[in-house]
Amino acid sequence: MPDPPRASPRTAPRVTPARVISIAVPGTVPGTECRVVDSAQRADRDGPAYGRLHAMAGTAGYGEAAEALVAQYESVTFDEVHREVLHLFPSEPSSVLDIGAGSGRDAAALAARGHRVVAVEPTTEMRTLGRSLHADQDIEWIDDALPGLPRLSARQPRFGLILLTAVWMHLDEQQRSAAMAHLAGLLEPGGRVILSLRHGPVPEGRRMFPVTARETVALARRSGLHVVHHARREDPHGRPGVAWTCLGLRLCAGGGTCPEAG
């Protein structure tokens, strides 16, 4: 099915101090625009890089490097990337959502294991390459993005497993909080989320934020998800200074806030 029409990019408005402004960045979908908070004031305080960072979309840098990145992502296997959490993936055929699916490596592996897989990927070039590379697998590709996943959420789907591999660091603090609540709302009773948090230097031209296990666990508990796995590991691609936290989360019985929430 063809992708729905995208929001037409427009020129970034002038930034005014003490205001919150939404900017439609080329390559974003409606509802996922960057928010610039007091950027003129902060640019004075923190230097011009602050304003530039916040005016970038989380997808910045992926489109132009898509071919090389797809080759890199496909150079490791699903089993290698997820070796510590393989026991958390459903053993019976289930509905699986892979958010920020990139090349589709994980979506394809999960489809090959008999799961019904939806792959969300907002970067057109990545989605196009991934769809073609894994055309032999039954994967539904959707052009959508966190935090709200507006196109997917409109269908009110439910998933037994949601996978976010190397995506969470693209969201700022407000987006992470909103996204966690959305994820919980997309889970079947007892459903799981497996997500990885990137630690280390930010590659040139990308938009990433520092993310911690502590904050992510607190957000999860507030959204009714409790931790079933928490581990740190080295980078599967061997990049210097890069490490990952891998979290497994499960929707608490009865929904609402988990008892351990602080």
Ligand X SMILES: C[S@@+](CC[C@H](N)C(=O)[O-])C[C@H]1O[C@@H](n2cnc3c(N)ncnc32)[C@H](O)[C@@H]1O
Residues that bind ligand X (CB under 6 A): 32, 58-59, 62, 73, 99-103, 105, 120-123, 126, 145-146, 165-167, 170
CB of 178 to ligand X, least distance (A): 11
Nearer Cβ to ligand X (17/26): 26
216 within 8 A of 197, measured Cβ to Cβ? yes
How many CA atoms lie within 13 Å of 194's alpha carbon, on the beta-carbon side? 19
CB 216: neighbour CB atoms within 10 A?
A: 21
CB of 31 to ligand X, least distance (A): 10
Nearer Cβ to ligand X (123/216): 123
The token duo for 55 is: 């005016």
How many CA atoms lie within 13 Å of 138's alpha carbon, on the beta-carbon side? 7
Distance from C-alpha of 55 to C-alpha of 41, rounded to nearest angstrom: 14
- 57 Ramachandran zone, left/alpha/beta (phi>0; psi -120 to 50): beta
CB of 254 to ligand X, least distance (A): 29
CB of 120 to ligand X, least distance (A): 6
Nearer Cβ to ligand X (166/187): 166
CB of 130 to ligand X, least distance (A): 9
Using DSSP, how many helices (H) and how many strands (E) does the chain show?
Answer: 9, 9
CB of 67 to ligand X, least distance (A): 13
Nearer Cβ to ligand X (61/160): 61
CB of 251 to ligand X, least distance (A): 21
Residues 6+ apart with CB under 8 A from 206: 60, 61, 62
Nearer Cβ to ligand X (38/106): 106
The token duo for 197 is: 């948090």
Q: What is the DSSP string of 90-141?
A: -SS--EEEEET-TTSHHHHHHHHTT-EEEEE---HHHHHHHHHHTTTS-EEE
Q: Which residue is nearest to ligand X (CB)?
A: 102
Nearer Cβ to ligand X (29/220): 29
Distance from C-alpha of 119 to C-alpha of 217, rounded to nearest angstrom: 24
Nearer Cβ to ligand X (105/192): 105
